[in-house]
């Protein structure tokens, strides 16, 4: 039996037939190739799922299409009620699901719970939204005419998600898509397939209890080839894809080639600007959490600190001191701050980034290292590193999905820091630490940060669901979650109604017969 109650959590999630620690457990979801899920926490096999074949995919799309024809006619507030029940189930299962997220993905148990809380939050948001999917009423230029707009569901929303938020990203999409009247087909990351199975079981139960077709929520498994089924499929009007910029460029082109819609949530290269007026204590907590939380594998992880030269040494020393306090180990043990990377490939990328930055002239001030020995058997635990670097280094311009923090120095005005912060290809999250109102407002102004998220006296990671989430440039331009992000899941229709016995034409055009 596993410590930290993993066995019990799997049982509560209905995954007991996936035998932990053996290679015999097969959860049958299809007949394709087996994907085995290994925990980066201890290297053990958690279970296997089968990937979806093309034939099975065809069946899934037929099931989803049929379900859509029913679901779109269910009034939106009633769809909201289903999402409310789903949120209730998530409340009941918050601990086991949070544990599975932590064990399969490797983030701390606290962050695993936080991820499930985000799912609950977006459900609550979507329930309220289900009564507010409103369009505008406009004044017609023609007498006796009424003009308004309404939003109708799109159909099937295809969701492709990344390993680092194995459950929340799905719910950001589905909770909104469902109240909008869409049905969803989800391909989770092949690195976290059991999180996908667990979520699907939870919603399937809610749908069953309400006599609704399970096709409202469909799960397909596999690697990028299964994702490609969706990006090329014209029966899927919207593909929401979260992952690397490399993946986003491929998916966007495939979807655009058939003039479908894509919602892209791609890589970030997020910076915190630290000005002479910053609160250093807050800066250190925000920067360290942002850089090492989820072992540096959040799209919003802090990768660059842009520090004013006048306080550079002070901040650097405080950071180095803080890094000495970090405890690295099993993320289910709440005494630890930093868990493992997702897999051995990620460890390779971490090593290679450290090597590259050294070759480019970076000065490593907190050394990185792959940890070994007791508790580190999976080979996925690495030491968070800090490197003094230059913004122009090739490796600094890239997103390395690992806990490597680059310190960059600026002099003069805050404009110089903003220019550096913007001088990367990605545009997801950004932050400024300052108690100076003028600096803060310049950072938020039209000439300020070019990112989708710009924070003042908060780090780069840890967004709330109420705001629209996403970023510009190579981050892909999509927005999910709060505000009016729901509109992407619907099609807008403009309606003009003539209640007279005349047929006046717009723009006063005369046409008599």
Query: How far apart (Å, rounded) are the C-alpha atoms in residues 162 and 224?
Result: 11
Q: If binding is defined by CB under 6 A, does position 380 make contact with ligand NAD?
A: no
Residue 233: strand, helix, or coil? coil
Residue nearest to ligand NAD (CB): 227
Report phi then psi at 292, rounded to 5.
Answer: -110, -15
| Stated length of the chain | 513
Among 51, 242, 421, 460, binds ligand NAD (CB under 6 A): 242
Q: How far is CA 236 from CA 217, 262, 370, 481, in A?
A: 14, 10, 43, 20
Q: If binding is defined by CB under 6 A, does position 231 make contact with ligand NAD?
A: yes
Identify the DSSP state of 5: G
Query: How far apart (Å, rounded) are the C-alpha atoms in residues 127 and 138?
Result: 27
**Of the two residues 207 and 299, which places its CB atom closer to ligand NAD in the complex?**
299
Contact segment (CB under 6 A) with ligand NAD among 132-140, 141-149, 161-169, 484-492 equals 161-169
CB of 429 to ligand NAD, least distance (A): 9
Six-digit token string for 505:
């034409």
CB of 169 to ligand NAD, least distance (A): 6
Q: If binding is defined by CB under 6 A, does position 415 make contact with ligand NAD?
A: no
Q: How many CB atoms lie within 10 A of CB 310?
A: 10
CB of 278 to ligand NAD, least distance (A): 26
Q: If binding is defined by CB under 6 A, does position 57 make contact with ligand NAD?
A: no
CB of 10 to ligand NAD, least distance (A): 22
Query: How far apart (Å, rounded) are the C-alpha atoms in residues 471 and 125?
Result: 21
Report phi then psi at 87, rounded to 5.
Answer: -60, -40
Residue 464: strand, helix, or coil? coil
Q: If binding is defined by CB under 6 A, does position 162 make contact with ligand NAD?
A: yes
Residue 498: strand, helix, or coil? strand
Contact segment (CB under 6 A) with ligand NAD among 136-144, 236-244, 430-438, 457-465 equals 236-244
- List, in sequence order, the alpha helices (H) in 106-238: 109-129, 168-180, 193-209, 224-231
Q: If binding is defined by CB under 6 A, does position 176 make contact with ligand NAD?
A: no
Round the CA-based radius of gyration of the chain to a whole number and report it: 25
Site for ligand NAD, residues 438 to 477, rule: CB under 6 A: 475
Residue 408: strand, helix, or coil? strand
Identify the DSSP state of 332: T
Q: If binding is defined by CB under 6 A, does position 250 make contact with ligand NAD?
A: yes
Q: If binding is defined by CB under 6 A, does position 262 make contact with ligand NAD?
A: no
Site string for ligand NAD, 187-206 (x = CB under 6 A): x-xx----------------
Of the residues 265, 439, 474, 480, only one is catalytic, namely 265
Q: If binding is defined by CB under 6 A, does position 295 make contact with ligand NAD?
A: no
Among 251, 273, 307, 396, binds ligand NAD (CB under 6 A): 251
User: What's CA 360's distance to the chain center, in Å?
Assistant: 31
Q: If binding is defined by CB under 6 A, does position 243 make contact with ligand NAD?
A: yes
Q: If binding is defined by CB under 6 A, does position 33 make contact with ligand NAD?
A: no
Proportion of the chain in helix, strand, coil states, percent, rounded to 5: 40, 20, 40
Query: How far apart (Å, rounded) are the C-alpha atoms in residues 56 and 71?
Result: 22
**Of the two residues 89 and 187, which places its CB atom closer to ligand NAD in the complex?**
187
> Could you confirm whether 439 is annotated as catalytic?
no
**Of the two residues 2 and 264, which places its CB atom closer to ligand NAD in the complex?**
264
Residues classed as catalytic? 265
Q: Enumerate binding residues for ligand NAD (CB under 6 A).
A: 160-165, 187, 189-190, 223-224, 227-228, 231, 242-244, 247, 250-251, 265-268, 299, 399, 401, 428, 475
């Amino acid at each position: 039996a596993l410590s930290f109650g993993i066995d019990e959590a799997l049982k509560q999630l209905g995954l007991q037939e996936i035998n932990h620690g053996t290679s015999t457990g097969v959860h049958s979801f299809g007949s394709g190739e087996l994907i085995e899920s290994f925990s980066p926490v201890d290297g053990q096999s958690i279970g296997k799922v089968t990937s979806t074949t093309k034939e099975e995919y065809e069946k899934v799309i037929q099931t989803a299409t049929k379900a859509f024809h029913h679901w779109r006619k269910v009034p939106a507030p009633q769809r909201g009620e289903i999402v409310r029940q789903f949120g209730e189930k998530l409340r009941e299962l918050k601990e086991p699901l949070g544990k599975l997220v932590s064990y399969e993905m490797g983030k701390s148990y606290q962050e695993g719970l936080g991820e499930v809380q985000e799912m609950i939050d977006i459900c609550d948001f979507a329930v309220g939204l289900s009564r507010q999917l409103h369009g505008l009423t406009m004044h017609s230029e023609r007498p006796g005419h009424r003009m308004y707009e309404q939003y109708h569901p799109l159909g099937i929303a295809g969701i492709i998600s990344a390993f680092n938020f194995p459950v929340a990203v799905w719910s950001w999409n589905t909770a909104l898509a469902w109240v909008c009247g869409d049905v969803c087909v989800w391909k989770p990351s092949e690195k976290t397939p059991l999180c996908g199975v667990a979520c699907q079981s939870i919603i399937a139960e809610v749908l069953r209890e309400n006599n609704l077709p399970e096709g409202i929520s469909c799960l397909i498994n596999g690697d990028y080839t299964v994702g490609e089924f969706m990006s090329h499929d014209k029966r899927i009007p919207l593909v929401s894809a979260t992952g690397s910029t490399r993946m986003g460029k491929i998916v966007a082109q495939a979807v655009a080639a058939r003039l479908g819609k894509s919602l892209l949530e791609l890589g970030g290269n997020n910076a915190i600007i630290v000005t002479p007026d910053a609160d250093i204590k807050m800066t250190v907590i925000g920067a360290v959490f942002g850089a090492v939380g989820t072992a540096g594998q959040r799209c919003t992880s802090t990768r660059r600190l842009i520090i004013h030269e006048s306080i550079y040494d002070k901040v650097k020393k405080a950071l180095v001191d803080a890094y000495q306090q970090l405890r690295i180990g099993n993320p289910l043990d709440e005494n630890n701050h930093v868990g493992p990377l997702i897999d051995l490939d990620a460890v390779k990328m971490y090593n290679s980034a450290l090597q590259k930055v050294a070759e480019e002239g970076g000065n490593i001030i907190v050394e990185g290292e792959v940890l070994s020995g007791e508790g580190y058997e999976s080979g996925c635990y690495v030491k968070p590193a800090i490197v003094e670097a230059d913004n122009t280094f090739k490796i600094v311009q890239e997103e390395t999905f690992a806990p490597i923090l680059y310190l960059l120095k600026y002099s003069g005005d805050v404009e110089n820091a903003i220019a550096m912060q913007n001088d990367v290809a990605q545009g997801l999250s950004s932050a400024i630490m300052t108690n100076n109102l003028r600096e803060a407002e310049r950072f938020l102004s039209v000439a300020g940060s070019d990112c989708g998220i710009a924070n003042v006296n908060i780090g780069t990671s840890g967004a709330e669901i109420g705001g629209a989430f996403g970023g510009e440039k190579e981050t892909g331009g999509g927005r999910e979650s709060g505000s009016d992000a729901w509109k992407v899941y619907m099609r807008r229709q403009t309606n003009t109604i003539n209640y007279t016995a005349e047929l006046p034409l717009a723009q006063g055009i005369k046409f008599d017969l």
